[in-house]
Amino acid sequence: MRKKIIAGNWKMNMTPSETKELISKLKSKCDTNDVDVVFVVPSIDVTTAYECLKGSNIKLGTQNFYFEDKGAFTGEISANMILDAGATYVIIGHSERRGIFKEDNAMINKKLVKAHKAGLLPILCCGESIELREKNTYKEFISEQIKSAFNGISENEAKNTVIAYEPIWAIGTGKTATSDQAEEVCAFIRDIIGTLYNDSVKNEIRIQYGGSVNAGNAKELFGKPDIDGGLVGGASLKEEFASIVNYKS
Ligand code: PEP
């Protein structure tokens, strides 16, 4: 049985002071062992969030990092900085990084390799645009994203990677993929992992769905056999996130 993982991607929202406030509202309600819960906060909020989350089971993550250890990379943060500040997860290849900041598959592969070498737990995002969905070429596209990201990743590292399937047309649009559409692609991704590795990795790797997940649709989405939780954007900034975490009750 794979443990579900529900992560809130705060994106570029919340100052350190606002972080304290939001965590005080969410902490007790999201503090569970039934699922893994991760608050993926802006890098500048990690230290504050770490202090606020002490004593709970809630894990911390950042939304990006750079694959070099240190040096002249103005504006970037390293894996060791993230770990030292108390976060353990990192999102890699979010569609906003790919689209707005032009991160390509080669860059995302370097980040995935480095995250594992450094001991971070990566949440690797993939997903197609509306054009590719309508042209019915989304599977080829996602297959390429996955194969390229996992280049050089060992079996054990693959097991410790979380994949988030996030169709771009469903992110921040209020337009959720149906649970059948989400399940179809998550199962497809699991099959790709099976062909890249073996059945053990295929059955252990966790695959989330992300794209307008809310308190009303979480139960149906997370009830699907190949969907192991969610990556949640907008709803992670509200008390609604606690209802998503507790989607079974
Ligand atoms: C996201 O940013 O990863 C996301 C899924 O956003 P939203 O839930 O707002 O669609």
pLDDT of residue 214: 97
| pLDDT of 211 | 96
| Ligand 1 mean position, distance from CA 124 (Å) | 14
pLDDT at 175: 87
Res 35: pLDDT: 98
* Residues labelled catalytic: 94, 166
pLDDT of residue 94: 98
**What is the pLDDT at residue 174?**
87
Q: Ligand 1: which of 5, 9, 243 to mutate, most ligand atoms within 8 Å of CB?
A: 9
**213 CB near ligand 1 (under 6 Å):** yes
- The finding on whether 82 has its CB within 6 A of some atom of ligand 1 is no
Give distance in angstroms: CA of 70 to centre of ligand 1. Answer: 30
Separation of CA 198 and ligand 1 centre (Å): 30
Ligand 1 binding pocket includes 232 (Cβ within 6 Å) = yes
With beta carbons less than 8 A apart as the criterion, state whether 172 and 194 touch: no
Contacts 24+ apart (CB under 8 A), 182-187: 182/209, 182/211, 182/221, 182/224, 182/227, 183/224, 183/225, 183/226, 183/227, 185/138, 185/139, 185/142, 186/224, 186/226, 186/227, 187/225, 187/226
Instruction: Indicate whether residue 231 lines ligand 1 (CB < 6 A).
Output: yes
Residue 167 in contact with ligand 1 by CB distance below 6 A: no
For the chain, list residues with pLDDT below 70.
none
In angstroms, the CA 158 to CA 58 distance is 23
